[in-house]
Amino acid sequence: MLLAYSMKVVYHLFSGGKDSSLAAWILKKLGYEVKLITITFGVLDNWKFARETAEILGFDHEVIEMPIGILEKATEMCIKEGRAGNAIQYIHERALEYIASREEVKRISDGTRRDDRVPFLDLSKARSLEDRYNVAYIRPLLGLGYKTIRELVNEIFVVVEDESEKVQKGDYETELRELIRRKGHDPSQIFPKRHVQSRVVGLR
């Protein structure tokens, strides 16, 4: 009983990118038992890249399939708005709620940063999430600027970086681009051109 009491389990949204990897690493340093969660909508199997990184980093990893309707709504938003910001925000909020609503979940976490525009929960949204689901919402990178994140990432991880479509990871964007394509639209008109993506492929 004492052992169970002392375990602090946190469910952490994880893509295999450097931000969510660094956040997971910090949570572990703070004494949390980190369970990585990658979201899929069943469209592609890009969650496998997140699993690969999870294994390299030595964390438990679970893939959760969320209703395709959420990705479809996000796709509509992208096509209507010509931008992906609100759609990414929409998916992220639904993902946090989906995990937070599980009976066993008392702590949820992600790799969102101070300098992120999306996805990002402002103070009232963060508190609302905590209150509605009775969870603690932990964002280890929120108080860190880009210099600090770069310094820690370079020290801890081996990272590959390239433009979005070349580096594969387990993020929302990959399936969102695919569904936009299937609906006959060009995702490169919706996502920023020089959006550099990263994936962690090793520990230093």
List contacts with a second copy (CB under 8 A): 8, 26, 29-31, 107, 112, 114-115, 123, 126-127, 130, 136-145, 147-148, 151-152, 155
Taking the complex as a whole, how short is the minimal distance between the CB of residue 95 and a second copy, in angstroms? 17
Nearer to a second copy, 51 or 107 (CB): 107
Structure-token pair, residue 122: 């402002």
Nearer to a second copy, 138 or 201 (CB): 138
Q: Could you say which DSSP state residue 44 is in?
A: -
Nearer to a second copy, 84 or 141 (CB): 141
Taking the complex as a whole, how short is the minimal distance between the CB of residue 199 and a second copy, in angstroms? 22
Q: Measured between alpha carbons, how far is 24 from 57 in angstroms, rounded to an integer?
A: 9
> Are 23 and 152 spatial neighbours (Cβ–Cβ below 8 Å)?
no
Other Cβ atoms within 10 Å of 173 Cβ, number:
20
Taking the complex as a whole, how short is the minimal distance between the CB of residue 122 and a second copy, in angstroms? 10
Q: Where are the beta strands (DSSP E) in the chain?
A: 9-13, 33-40, 60-65, 107-109, 136-138, 157-163, 196-203
Nearer to a second copy, 36 or 167 (CB): 36
Nearer to a second copy, 18 or 177 (CB): 18
Q: Is 185 exposed, middle or buried (0-12, 13-18, 19+ CB in 10 A)?
A: middle
Taking the complex as a whole, how short is the minimal distance between the CB of residue 200 and a second copy, in angstroms? 17
Taking the complex as a whole, how short is the minimal distance between the CB of residue 119 and a second copy, in angstroms? 14
Taking the complex as a whole, how short is the minimal distance between the CB of residue 185 and a second copy, in angstroms? 33
Nearer to a second copy, 71 or 141 (CB): 141
Transcribe 92-111 into DSSP letters: HHHHHHHHHTSTT--EEE--
Q: Measured between alpha carbons, how far is 175 from 181 in angstroms, rounded to an integer?
A: 10
